[in-house]
Structure 1
Amino acid sequence: MKPRHDIYQTITAELAAAIDAGAGQWRMPWHHDGGTVMRPTSAVGRAYTGINRLVLWASAEAHGFQSGTWATYRQWTEVGAQVRRGETGTHVILWKKQERDEPTSADSDGEERSARFFARSFVVFNQSQVDGSPERTLASARPIGETAASAKLFLESVGVPVHYGPWDAYFRPDEDRVYMPDREAFDSDEDFISTLGHEIVHSTGSAQRLARETLRDYFKDRTIRAREELVAEIGASFLMADLGLGYSPRPDHAAYVASWLNMLGNDTRAIFRAAAAAQAATDWIHAHAASGLPIAA
């Protein structure tokens, strides 16, 4: 196994390269087409989350993989499949909990132990790289209009007021309210829902929800603003994948690309923090949505 610091450096470099490669068309690693194929899952159907979603999306885009199923060499063998000779795998991260021997600062008796998490890297292969993989039965895709209507109800049911009208899309923390243009202002249902999802992700950072520092300090510094926009971008892409809808590039976010590349160049853990915050926002939305929209299979 590579030293731990290499995991962060390797994955950050790969994602930075993917961001840079797509900058001309504003296409980032988290942009994806609709359908369940691009919601990365393991060979047994368990969904990949957080940074691993970004890594696998970027790898699928770079190699033209059409399957969303990934597994280690051993896992493929266990289901009767064989990775083809010469195939190159993709590194994903598994967080492991390790207890420390020393007591925490709050413990006077020394009986309790503090814990920390460390990252381990594993290599996985896409279903397109193996022979003999079992067929998975995927749920039939619903018409986009029907899916978008359900997605709108889902996002509006998390408890954040949404007001529609002749204005830009934004979240106002002081009012705890999302403002959205009417549907007619968008080219497609997916553009409309993805923009709504983006603003709802912003709303999860409010003080009464996840108290995200990057939302609190959004207007203080351009770098902080870029970090919050990265969280909202990634979080919205996670939501859209869960809902079975595509997430397309937004030209108005092109101005942040240079900031994101600079951020990743200066801090190899920045993208990990952004993906973790995006996953936390997505989890909060799923947990608080009153409209029970099934997650895409």
Structure 2
Amino acid sequence: MDLSPLLHGLPSPAIYAAFMAAAAVMAALGCAALAPLARIPQTKEHIDIAMRTTGAVMAALTLILAFCAVQARSQASDAQRLVSTEVAAIATMARIADRGGPAGHALRQDLAAYARSIAEDEFPAMTTEGRHPQTQALLERLEAGFYQLAAMAPEVMANDMLQQFDDMDGAREKRLDGARIGLPLEFWMLILVLSGLLALTGALYPPRLHTVAMLAVQAAGVGALIAFVFLMDQPFRSSIGVSASPYQALSHSLAHRSAAIPGSTRYARP
């Protein structure tokens, strides 16, 4: 059962609390339940070996978490770039539509509706469902409208218009393709394995209250790091990742300008 969508729907503090609690419980149980079974002699030499083993596993885990955090941050930047590129492409089409007279003014209103549909319909569910039918229908309506406008425009303007429309369509495709961008599953498997090994090292320590508490606190810190990487991963799904606000802002701007253009609503297509 994939709990990732459920966790991504939680606020950041809840995600931190969940990961920290899970890691702390795992470490505490690793010591309290496994140490009596292992029955390792509690000599200074064995304690030293236990601490070295825990330190080695901890170092490996923090190293992979640091690497994953850098990768996740890079992916978040790529995702933001995809959104910025698409928003810029829609804005460019709106400027081209301004030069198309009354028919272009109607297309500007359609562009505002298209940007609003991306923000409200397609963006929230694209990581699981991909294209949204309503957004796709608006894009096809825009395509037909701009091709009609291009047929009446000078050749240079028509070529520029169609090229810019292809760029806008391509920007959407890139966003949809990158909607599931995230760390490879192998990284999460490695983190899980190392976390399990860290919990198993608890069997090397005496199951005393202060020792169990120390291991739990240490594991909670690691859990916080894992939660941070989880939040940074999959930027189109994360609660602190890329948002649809640029599309909403563009939609409001286009709608406001369309309303300010005299007679623009009179030429709006049904």
TM-score between both structures, scaled by the size of structure 2: 0.21
Higher radius of gyration, 1 or 2:
2
Instruction: Select the structure that is richer in helix.
Output: 2
TM-score between both structures, scaled by the size of structure 1: 0.19
